[in-house]
Structure 1
Amino acid sequence: MRGVVDLGAVKAASDAAAQRAARAASAPQGGADQGAGSGGFVFDLTEENFDSVLALSQQAPVVLEFSSQRSPHSIELGAVFDLLAAEYAGRFVLARLDIDATPQLAQELVMQAGVQGLPAAVAVVGGQLAPMFDRAAPTEEQLRGILDQLIAVGEQRFGLTGLAGAPGGAPAGEEQDEDAEPPGDPLLAPAEEALDAGDFAGAAQAYRNVLAEYPAHTEAKLALGQVELLLRTQDVDAAAARRKAADAPTDVDAQAVVADLDIAGGHVEDAFGRMVETVRRTAGDDRNKARVHLLGLFDLVGSDDPRVIKARAALTSVLF
């Protein structure tokens, strides 16, 4: 991930940015599906679907592959990418950019990513652009290693879990039994007993114990998020917290506390709007901290909730 830069400069560098945003705003939901292939994890990147495809980097690493029919090596690389995209099944997304068909968009991204020649690819992880390779195609085995590293970084630094339907463990073909969600609820009994006793801290630790052994236990993961929200808000003076946030609009911690209060009180859209605005106002580590907190709130509400879908689009517009 050396050389990571903010993708906000991509759009700022071009007069076409506003037009892309307008098209994305007026496009029907599911615009990212345009041109999708290989099980829905490969897209032909265009001006029209740029925003919706790049927004997927908040769920899984997006690999931007620069391609041209005039480059035999890039064609060969594309075939390998297609196979791996199908195999990894949503743990990364492939966005193929035909530099001949979309020269303006290609020029923007080539300049921003510093690409010198084909074959070439860069990655977008959690809204951040990172170089992969250019002017020399890796072997299939080397490419697997690069993809595994990107996926690991996405999981560890940005909390990315892959697109819906993606396997929660290693790439296809590797054993995943250790991470499989166990049947039944006996593992959650200690946490539920702690909740019944009003011991939120004990319940949180009990859920963490389950996840330490079964990382893919979705019920424990969701419940832990809810309990942690209770812990963050149970002793907060709401009036004082809102005054502090109003006085310090770039204080990520202050804004996050009020967003938590809004989520706990059912004011979901207010919470999302506050954190999106905080991301817009901040930069560097503060921006990433605000973004990660917002993604955690998305998980609490649920990825299929229309309010989450709307807020993800707003976050993407701010980041790009």
Structure 2
Amino acid sequence: MSEENIPSTRGAVDLSALANQGPQATDSAASAAASWTTNLDEAAFQQFVGLSQSVPAIVSLGSPRVQVSADLDAVLRKLVDAKGGKFVLGLVDAETYPQIAQAFQAQQIPMVVALVKGQPVPLFQGPAAEEQISQLFTQLEQLAVQQGLTGTIPPFSGTATDTEPPLPPLHQKAVDAIDAGDYAAAEAAYLEALNEKPNDHEAQVGVYQVRLLSRTQNLDLNKARDLAAQNPEDLGAQLDVADLDVIGGHVEDAFARLVLLISKLADDDRERVRRRLIELYAVVGNTDPRVAASRQKLARVLF
């Protein structure tokens, strides 16, 4: 998937105004534990943007003097550092460095934006629960895989240690295959894990995630949307756009599209779309409130 297929950001951010700032980053944390979180000033920002060519770079625009913002940054730091170098997090004091906030057209703080290959992907504004942020990070990681960002980078401070328990062998085999872009091998590994342990929920979700990545890897977002708009009866086209919307974080749009489609279909076609929707529910996370809301709408359509 090319950079032009990164989900809509409601207006691209012009980062060129900060391009001539110095490259030195600062990090006030002095801890032996590895951390991929850093404090950003104007001089450090452009170098941080450059990291988004290797891994998703998350920017939190807030203020340490605002409790909601400080609490959010603590959650973001925990979740990012737990990724072990797959993400980086830059904390910006938007009151001290308003130029950075202006570059993102921030209307309020806190505001959290991800950068993927230099392109902004808005995540959310205001406070958010840890579980919701974790689900957003899962979607962001899927987008990163599509963009070829599958590696890790060294921590900004401290010494890297195993931040997560090791995966079961077949799960690790699947992850390695995903990193290599071999989605067929990844699916086979997850299916083997399910064969050994039928109630392996993580493996089942892994199957759905890999299938989603495989289905969307060669899709062009604009072309897919045009095709779906011109051919509302084409189930394949509608399913493609729903897949791309989930990858891009437009979860409610994807769910609404498929629920509406199900309301108009019958028999095998209805079941095909329903199965896809159930898979996407699992990918997003069955505890996600957007899934719960969509399930209620689906139930009304089906019953």
- Please state which band the TM-score falls in when normalised by the shorter chain: 0.3 to 0.5
- Greater relative contact order (CA < 8 Å, ≥ 6 in sequence): 2
Whose helix fraction is larger, Structure 1's or Structure 2's?
A: 1
